[in-house]
C-alpha cells in the first residue's frame, strides 16, 4: 500500500470564490481526490509580479515535495480575474484567454526552471469549461 501522505499534485489557484468549488471539483476528479491546494490573488500573477510571493510559493512547493512527494504543479488562471483588471481589460474572450495563456506560459517556465523534475500544467477556467493549456 502506498504511503497515505503521498500524492501527485500541488495546485495554485486564484482566491476568487466564484471559481473555487468548480475548480476544486475539477482537480479532484483528475488528481485521485487528494492534492495540495494554494490560493493566491491572481494565481500566475504572484509568480510573475512579486518576488516575495513567488518565493513564498516556492517554499510551498518545497514543502509539498518534502511532505507529500508531489510530482506536478498545476497553475490555474481564470476568466474575469480582478487581480489582472478583469474581463473589461480585454477586447473579447479570446484575447483574454490568450493573455492568460501567455501569463501561464511565463509562470510555468519560472517554476520549471526552479524545479526541473516537476511537471507543470497550465489550466484556464472559463465560465462554462476548464481546460488544460498545451
Ligand atoms: Zn482571480
Q: What is the model's pLDDT at position 1? A: 40
Distance separating alpha carbons of residues 126 and 123, to the nearest angstrom: 10
Where do the structural domains in the chain lie, given as residue ranges? Answer: 9-133
What residues are neighbours of ligand 1 (ion), with CB under 5 Å?
A: 14, 16, 81, 83
- Please tell me the distance between residue 43's alpha carbon and the centre of ligand 1 in angstroms: 7
How much is the mean pLDDT over the chain?
Answer: 95
Burial class (CB in 10 A: 0-12, 13-18, 19+), 21: exposed
- Please tell me the distance between residue 80's alpha carbon and the centre of ligand 1 in angstroms: 7
- Please tell me the distance between residue 17's alpha carbon and the centre of ligand 1 in angstroms: 9
Q: What is the model's pLDDT at position 5? A: 84
Q: What is the model's pLDDT at position 42? A: 98
Q: What is the model's pLDDT at position 65? A: 96
Q: Using the predicted structure, report yes or no on whether residue 57 has a pLDDT greater than 50.
A: yes
Tens of pLDDT, residues 81-121: 999 999 999 999 999 999 999 999 999 999 999 999 999 99
Instruction: For domain 9-133, give the CATH superfamily.
Output: Carbonic anhydrase (3.40.1050.10)
Q: Which residue has the cell 501569463?
A: 103
Query: Which DSSP symbol is given to 82?
Result: G
- Please tell me the distance between residue 12's alpha carbon and the centre of ligand 1 in angstroms: 11
Distance separating alpha carbons of residues 13 and 92, to the nearest angstrom: 23
Amino acid at each position: 500500500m502506498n504511503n497515505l501522505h503521498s500524492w501527485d499534485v500541488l495546485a495554485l489557484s486564484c482566491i476568487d470564490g466564484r471559481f473555487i468549488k468548480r475548480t476544486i471539483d475539477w482537480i479532484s476528479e483528475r488528481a485521485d481526490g487528494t492534492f495540495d491546494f494554494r490560493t493566491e490573488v491572481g494565481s500566475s500573477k504572484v509568480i510573475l509580479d512579486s518576488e516575495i510571493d513567488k518565493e513564498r510559493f516556492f517554499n510551498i512547493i518545497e514543502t509539498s515535495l518534502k511532505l507529500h512527494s508531489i510530482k506536478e504543479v498545476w497553475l490555474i488562471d481564470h476568466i474575469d480575474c480582478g487581480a489582472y483588471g478583469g474581463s473589461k481589460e480585454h477586447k473579447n474572450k479570446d484575447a483574454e484567454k490568450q493573455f492568460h495563456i501567455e501569463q501561464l506560459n511565463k509562470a510555468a517556465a519560472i517554476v520549471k526552471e526552479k524545479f526541473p523534475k516537476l511537471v507543470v500544467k497550465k489550466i484556464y477556467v472559463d465560465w462554462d469549461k476548464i481546460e488544460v493549456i498545451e
